Structure 1
Amino acid sequence: MTGTTQIPYLLRAARNEELERPPVWMMRQAGRYMQVYRDLREKYPSFRERSENAEIAIEISLQPWKAFQPDGVIMFSDILTPLPGIGIPFDIVESKGPMIQPPIRSQEQIDQLHPLEPDESLPFIKKILTALREEVGNQAAVLGFVGAPWTLAAYAIEGKSSKNYAIIKSMAFSEPKMLHQFLGKLAEAIATYVCYQIDCGAQIVQMFDSWAGQLCPQDYEIFALPYQLQVVKKVKETHPDTPLILYISGSAGVLERMGRSGVDFVSVDWTVDMAEARERLGKDMKVQGNIDPGVLFGSKEFIRERIIDTIRKAGSRGHILNLGHGVLPGTPEENVAFFFETAKQADKLLAFSA
């Protein structure tokens, strides 16, 4: 192969090339909606075993690759994975989600945290990413991912998922100095982790600040944005050419601020029209998204219409087609397959429907 055919299609979008169709992958494209994953879960019921045993994680990461041939293959992991490496143990309970005991509530706990040494605490990551690169070659881009400081702090301080984030917000507004110290330590660890993933084979890394949409714009600028910037700045110092994506759930109120984080792509959720997102972010910001995951429960005609609409609004440069969040449990596998098939024929469909 010669020329651009050697470059994974997703990375061509990152280079802002004009493309006939956008590259396509899905958040949570490996997971519960796939029968092969559910079968494997029966054999390995512990989530941490599935995500931290390299051989199992590699197999799960490749399940959607073998089934659908997406343009991006993301490693199967969790945003909390690096926390034990800095001194915060966690567990994931199947019906309850992440659990952190004891939660981080005191200055003493924050003082006891230590820098991340990925080779020591996360050796399985290197095996996973190396194997994925070998498996997919240049046919797809291998993605890594991390949690952002605010979101990891929210899990660590709340001790679990939350509906109102009252405990971390209480700390933010009554003991901000302590929270800022914690966020700074998390940002250092996350930046180290991103660089490690890139060194191990990740060609693009997505940062999930899933719960930053729970902040009002004023507090986003105080408690989320500076630490996103800290991560991005440190990564770009040593890996300036690796594209970074930022995703926030419920981001309509902070969309423009996301664009100030220094990332290469803003991943847009489905609460914003893609054409409006493009306008709000400006012509220089590349975008990812943003089809409502619920669309995949619709008819094939409906799915096709939404794909065409999103691609047309996003334009032919700097767009990765994705959902506005992860694939929902119970999503019909045949509809996921149809989504990928349709996305890959988008150039023909757009011409036909023009």
Structure 2
Amino acid sequence: MTELKNDRFLRALERKPVDVTPVWMMRQAGRYLPEYRATRAQAGDFMAVCTNPELACEVTLQPLRRYPLDAAILFSDILTIPDAMGLGLYFETGEGPRFRKPVQDAAAVEALEVIKPEADLPYVMDAVKTIRRELNGSVPLIGFSGSPWTLATYMVEGGSSKDFRRAKTMAFNEPEVMHMLLSKLADSVTAYLNAQIEAGAQAVQIFDTWGGALSDRAYQEFSLNYMRQIVNGLIREREGRKVPVILFTKNGGQWLESMADTGCDALGLDWTTNIGDARSRVGGQVALQGNMDPTMLYASPKRIRQEIETILSSYGHGDGHIFNLGHGITPEVDPVNAGVFIESVHELSEKYHSAK
């Protein structure tokens, strides 16, 4: 077992003292980096990168060669689970992910089988092992999955959606069918994340990208209940250390207390929630991750630094904060500005911590 040289990300997730606020970015390996675009062009398409462990490792490491990030995140896609269930994932230029076989009735849901990660998604586990080896203890590796509700929306809609008409109609008209789908997905996500942990992921994040599209009662019933089930089923210690779990519901600021009660270790915040308010509500229970508006990275370096200082000041002194964007970095961001963001978090946050 290689000793971890930089563990401030894991320490912050456990709300232990750190010297500076750790920072990483959602989608930090991605289209804003010219080296990523070159690798993807060489591979042919996005899924060709995802399904090749060596290429997935290469693009995972690319941002760490540029920036002093405090964590790496596995390069993959949230839709690997429905793809492994046989739905035929493909990417339409300009339209995003699509499925050749959407799941739109009870018979289609009944035909789905819970995935066996090592058999159905071996390339992901191979990528995790390869990345851990190549990181050689420099920083922790984050594994991830989409939430059951988020995965279900893509599976029922057949791809991306603006209004989730088909998914919501199923949930409201045939709740028993939607619950059958969500139950199979929750079991699949639990198995998938545990397999990532066994392969070497040192923390995991559940991306509930579309939970915020639900009403309060529908969120509790169709999204949060299944994330709670997953958290309860995860391996929480490995290699003699806790494996923290981060929940991120985009537009989920109204549910922080309920999310914190799932037993997770940290909540990801989007940019619509004030992090100081969030800390006063749940900061004694969980760590908080976030939450600069990703489009702030189009601003000047001076303005980016001002925003970082505002967020750090809002959170205040003490530990339990992981700095991140409120959602993924966007493709048109100048890599120089991403560097300003990462380096400024370390520089400006030191005064908020007592550990040296």
TM-score (norm 1): 0.93
- CA deviations over 1:12-45 (Å, ceiling 9, x no partner): 1122112232110000001111111112222223
**1:309: how far off?**
1.8
Inter-partner Cα distance in structure 1 for 2:322 and 2:185: 28
Cα separation, partners in 2 of 1:158 and 1:256, compared to 1, 3 Å = same
The corresponding residue for 2:304 is 303
Contact in 1 for aligned 2:149/2:222 (Cα 8 Å): yes
Q: Which amino acid aligns with 2:33?
A: M
Inter-partner Cα distance in structure 2 for 1:260 and 1:132: 32
Cα separation, partners in 2 of 1:268 and 1:43, compared to 1, 3 Å = same
The corresponding residue for 2:71 is 72
Inter-partner Cα distance in structure 1 for 2:124 and 2:277: 37
Cα separation, partners in 2 of 1:164 and 1:42, compared to 1, 3 Å = same
Equivalent position SS for 1:261: coil
The corresponding residue for 1:123 is 122
- CA deviations over 1:317-341 (Å, ceiling 9, x no partner): 1111000000011101100011111
Contact in 1 for aligned 2:35/2:62 (Cα 8 Å): yes
Cα separation, partners in 2 of 1:302 and 1:144, compared to 1, 3 Å = same
Inter-partner Cα distance in structure 2 for 1:194 and 1:89: 22
**1:82: how far off?**
2.0
**1:6: how far off?**
4.6
Inter-partner Cα distance in structure 2 for 1:203 and 1:92: 30
The corresponding residue for 1:139 is 138
The corresponding residue for 2:151 is 152
Contact in 2 for aligned 1:300/1:338 (Cα 8 Å): yes
Q: After superposing the two structures, state which structure 1 stretch, 213-222 or 117-126, moved more.
A: 117-126
Q: After superposing the two structures, state which structure 1 stretch, 233-242 or 315-324, moved more.
A: 233-242
Q: How many residues align?
A: 348
The corresponding residue for 1:346 is 348
Equivalent position SS for 1:245: strand
Q: Which amino acid aligns with 2:68?
A: Q
Contact in 2 for aligned 1:252/1:271 (Cα 8 Å): yes
Q: How does 1:3-18 map to 2 (within 5 A)?
A: 6=5, 8-18=7-17
The corresponding residue for 1:29 is 28
**1:287: how far off?**
0.5
Equivalent position SS for 1:82: helix
Q: After superposing the two structures, state which structure 1 stretch, 115-124 or 324-333, moved more.
A: 115-124
Contact in 1 for aligned 2:4/2:139 (Cα 8 Å): no
**1:120: how far off?**
1.3
The corresponding residue for 1:323 is 325
Cα separation, partners in 2 of 1:53 and 1:257, compared to 1, 3 Å = same
Q: Please, what is the CA RMSD of the aligned residues? A: 1.9
Q: After superposing the two structures, state which structure 1 stretch, 26-35 or 335-344, moved more.
A: 335-344
The corresponding residue for 2:258 is 257
- CA deviations over 1:289-315 (Å, ceiling 9, x no partner): 000101111111111111122122224
Inter-partner Cα distance in structure 2 for 1:189 and 1:246: 17
Equivalent position SS for 1:296: helix
Equivalent position SS for 1:28: coil
Cα separation, partners in 2 of 1:284 and 1:229, compared to 1, 3 Å = same
Q: How does 1:133-212 map to 2 (within 5 A)?
A: 133-212=132-211
**1:348: how far off?**
4.8
**1:183: how far off?**
0.3
Inter-partner Cα distance in structure 1 for 2:235 and 2:225: 15
Inter-partner Cα distance in structure 2 for 1:285 and 1:325: 19
Inter-partner Cα distance in structure 1 for 2:265 and 2:87: 30
Q: How does 1:71-110 map to 2 (within 5 A)?
A: 71-110=70-109
**1:349: how far off?**
6.4
| Unpaired stretches in structure 2, ≥5 consecutive residues | none
The corresponding residue for 1:224 is 223
Contact in 2 for aligned 1:308/1:350 (Cα 8 Å): no
Contact in 1 for aligned 2:54/2:130 (Cα 8 Å): no
| Unpaired stretches in structure 1, ≥5 consecutive residues | none
